[in-house]
Amino acid sequence: MTKVIVGMSGGVDSAVSAYLLKKQGYEVEGLFMRNWDSMVNGDVKGNDTLDGNICPQEEDYNDAKKTAEILGIKLHRVDFIKEYWDDVFKYFLDELKLGRTPNPDLLCNKYIKFDLFKKEAKRLGADFMATGHYANTKNNKLYRSKDLNKDQTYFLAQISKEQLTDVLFPVGNLTKPEVRQIAEENNLNVATKKDSTGICFIGERHFQQFVSNYLKPNPGDIVDVKTKEVIGRHKGLMNYTIGQRKNVGISGYTKRHYVCGKDVKNNILYVAFGDDSKYLITDECKISHLNMISDERPTNCTAKFRYRGEDYPVNVTYLNDNEAILKYPVGVKSVTPGQFAVLYQGDECLGSGVIDHVYKNNEELWYLK
């Protein structure tokens, strides 16, 4: 019998994935991984408890264990706390120090879920590994899921073609409501459990408070990008992202405003006033850490510049194996250094790269350097 190890997170998607695989006749076992420990990682001020007596990850483990009992499958457990810190969280902190807006979820998939987890699954005798991601794969190519609202190919766009080998996405051809319905019809304990949000494996936190446990805030001036006038004080550039409109921290200003840039060298946060968003619009960016899942390198495709963002037509110039220039003449708002640009050809996810620099009319924006 073909054996599949399912990544059991304690959520409904992985629970239904395990149910579907068992129903299809596979020998199914679950594997729960713990990648974060608040005490080990010094997160002593974080939201470590639930109802005062159990941390959220232990609640997830208990939910996964209960699901496994309902399905009649074995559940294994493994810790990748040190590896997550070294390969994912340190990168997250380093990017914040540079004033950028990182997305650690893509590296978590690259280095943890589809590397270390897969190796552990193979060690346990798996022919395939499976996850509850909303995505599809065929012939080592990655495709969007049926539910475009929940599609998670954006977060998978840094994994390699080889990492897709022997991988199953059982809910890729289902919608979220269909997944919930299957869970309810089969009395799975997590049928109505809320989806996890926040930083991958760390969860929902008060961002500024959480990050201050690891990086010392460095307050500085908030400057009107048009008048160059100092209009307030920021709490550290790491706490803001391009396009942010809420909680910027300018008192006494009722006119709409948004974060449009950061000067890391001089520790300045630039803010623009009004509704036109003209300071956010760019038409070109340079990406690095280029990872192509597809063997093809098309010069015309589409790109997402953030999860749940639109697909924009782009022209791609490949500078080398690691870098490329994306031109999007239609103009796009809030293309943000540190985020990932993910490339698509129709429903196929081609790969991705980290946004390093953004340009408008062939010039790098001075308030984003």
- Catalytic (active-site) positions: 108, 200
Side chain identity, residue 297: R
Q: Are residues 190 and 32 in contact, defined by beta-carbon separation less than 8 angstroms? A: no
126 Cβ contact partners less than 8 Å away, ≥ 6 residues apart: 3, 4, 5, 29, 166
Tokens found for residue 194: 């809320």
DSSP secondary structure string, 266-315?
Answer: TTEEEEEESS--GGGEEEEEEEEEEEE-SS---SEEEEESSTTPPPEEEE
Q: Which of 93, 154, 368 is nearest to 241 (CA)?
A: 368
Cβ distance 355 to 364 under 8 Å? Answer: no
Q: CA nearest 208: which of 365, 361, 46?
A: 46
Q: Which residue has the tokens 């805030």?
A: 217
Residue from 302, 351, 12, 338 nearest 185 by CA: 12
Q: How far apart are CA 107 and CA 159, in angstroms?
A: 8
CA dihedral 187, 192, 196, 197 (to 10 degrees): 160
Output the six-digit token pair for 72.
Answer: 């009649």
Q: Which residue(s) pair with 273 in the sheet?
A: 257
CA-based nearest residue to 207, from 164, 254, 247: 247
Q: Which residue intervals of the chain are DSSP H helices?
A: 12-23, 56-71, 81-84, 90-97, 104-108, 117-123, 153-156, 176-185, 207-211
